[in-house]
Amino acid sequence: MPAPDQPLPTIADVARRAGVSTATVSRVLNRTDAVREAPRAKVEAAVLALGYLPHAGARTMKLHRSGTLGAIFPTIDNAIFAKAIDALQRRLAQAGHQLLIATSDYDPVTEERAALTMLARGVDGLLLCGCSQDASLLERLRQRHVPAVHVMSWPVPPDRIGVGFDNARAMGQVVKYLIDLGHSRIAMLAGVTRDNDRAAERVRGVREALVAAGLELPPARLVERRYGIAAAREGLRQLMAAKSPPTAVVCGNDVLALGALLEAQRLGLAVPGQLSIVGFDDLELAAHVAPALTTVRVPAEEMWRSAAERLLAALAGDSLPRATEIEVALVVRESSGPPARARPRAR
C-alpha cells in the first residue's frame, strides 16, 4: 500500500508490476471476458498489492459513462422502499454499476432538485417513483439523453419507460371483496394524494368500485394522512367519530393500516368483529400482528429488479419492452370479515 506522502498508484504501475500492457489492465478492470486467466490473475494480484483504484473521473471521460445510476424515493422510512433499495443494489452491482440514492418526502420540487443534482454528478440513468414528475424535469432528462424508469404506476405514458401495477384496479378488488362480505359502509384512510399519483389512483379505485356497486364514498368516509402510525391513528379516530361510522376501512398502505389497527384496539373495537381493516403492500410485519393484516401483496423485489433490468437495457440500447405490468394480489388474513349486524359507536 502507498505511504500517505507517496503518489497514488496508476494503471501504468499496475501494468509494470503485472508484466502486461495497460490495455490488458483496462480490460480486466472493466470486467471483459477477453483476458486469459493467467494475465487476469497477475493484474488482480498487482491491483491488490498496490492498492490501486480506477479514477472515476478519467473513466467517465473515456467511456462517457460514470457507472453510477440514481434512484429517488419518497422516503426510506418504509420497509417497501428498503426492499426496493436492496433489490436495486444487488442487480445493479452485478452489472458493475453504483447506486446513488436520494429522498423527496413526497415533494415534487425536492424530487426535481435531487434529480438535477444527480444529473450534475453525471449519473447515467434514473429510477423514479410514479409518473407525476414535473414536465420540466422530464424535458431536462430528454435534453441530456438520460434514460429514466418510472416505477409503481400503471399504465405508463407511451413516451416513458415504466414498471408498475394498476393501483386503482388493485383497490377495486379490495372493495369488491369487502362488498361480497356484506359491507356497505366502507371508508378509506388514504395517503396524501397531492403530488402522489399512486395514492390518488388508490382513492380513485375505491371510489369507482363503490359507485359500480351502487354505493358512495362521502367526504366523511375519506381521510388523507401522511404515512405514519400516529397520523393513521388520528385518521381512524376521525372516521369512527362520524354519525354513521364505517364497518370497514381500506388503507392506502400497511403503515396506515397498522396504525388504524392499533387505534381500533385502543377504542375497544373488535377487529374484524366490529371493524374490518385492509392494508396495501404486504410488509413483513403484516403477517405477524394480531390479528394478521389482510392486505394487497406487492412483489417489491420483483418490481424493482425488473426496473433495474429496464434501465440497464436502455443504457445498452437493447430492445426490451418499454413498459412492464406487475401483478399484485389480495391476501386475506384475520383483520377482515363480515360486518356485525349492529355494534356500538366508539367513544
Q: Do residues 171 and 289 share a domain?
A: yes
- Strand 248-251 to strand 276-278: parallel, antiparallel, or no bridges (unpaired)? parallel
- C-alpha to C-alpha distances, 232 to 140, 254, 347, nearest whole angstrom: 37, 10, 17
On whether residue 210 sits in a domain, the answer given is yes
On whether residue 239 sits in a domain, the answer given is yes
Q: Do residues 95 and 204 share a domain?
A: no
Q: Do residues 227 and 118 share a domain?
A: no
Q: Do residues 203 and 124 share a domain?
A: no
On whether residue 186 sits in a domain, the answer given is yes
Q: Do residues 314 and 267 share a domain?
A: no
CATH number of residue 257's parent domain: 3.40.50.2300
Q: Which residues of 3-40 are buried (b: 16+ CB within 10 A; e: fewer)?
A: eeeeeebebebbbebbebeeebbbbbbeeeeebeeebb
Three-class secondary structure of residue 276 per DSSP:
strand
With 0-12 / 13-18 / 19 or more C-beta atoms within 10 angstroms meaning exposed / middle / buried, residue 278 is: buried
CATH number of residue 38's parent domain: 1.10.260.40
On whether residue 333 sits in a domain, the answer given is no
Instruction: Say which amino acid occupies 238.
Output: Q
Peptide bond just before 9 cis, omega within 30 deg: no
Q: Do residues 178 and 288 share a domain?
A: yes
Q: Do residues 138 and 181 share a domain?
A: no
Q: Do residues 75 and 155 share a domain?
A: yes
**pLDDT tens digits for the chain (347 residues)?**
455 556 788 888 888 988 988 888 888 877 656 778 888 888 888 888 888 876 554 454 444 556 899 999 999 888 899 999 999 999 999 888 999 999 999 999 999 999 999 998 889 999 999 999 988 899 989 988 999 999 999 999 998 999 999 999 999 999 999 999 999 999 999 999 999 999 999 999 999 999 999 999 999 999 999 999 999 999 999 999 999 999 999 999 999 999 999 999 999 999 999 999 999 999 999 999 999 999 999 999 999 999 999 999 999 888 777 899 999 999 999 999 999 874 444 44
Q: Do residues 303 and 161 share a domain?
A: yes
For the beta sheet containing 98-103, the strands, ordered from the edge strand earlier in sequence to the opposite edge, are 98-103, 68-73, 125-129, 148-151, 161-164, 323-325
On whether residue 345 sits in a domain, the answer given is no
Q: Do residues 99 and 248 share a domain?
A: no
On whether residue 341 sits in a domain, the answer given is no
DSSP string, 55-75: -HHHHHHHHS--SEEEEEES-
Residue 314 · residue 125 · CB < 8 Å: yes
Q: Do residues 173 and 293 share a domain?
A: yes
Which of these, 65, 75, 70, lies nearest to 126 by C-alpha position? 70
pTM attached to this predicted model: 0.80
Write the DSSP symbol of residue 126. E
On whether residue 6 sits in a domain, the answer given is no
DSSP string, 204-249: HHHHHHHHHTT----GGGEEE--SSHHHHHHHHHHHHTSSS--SEE
What's the domain count of the chain?
Answer: 3
On whether residue 343 sits in a domain, the answer given is no
Range of the domain at 50: 11-54
Backbone angles phi, psi at 263, to 5 degrees: -70, -35
Q: Do residues 87 and 202 share a domain?
A: no
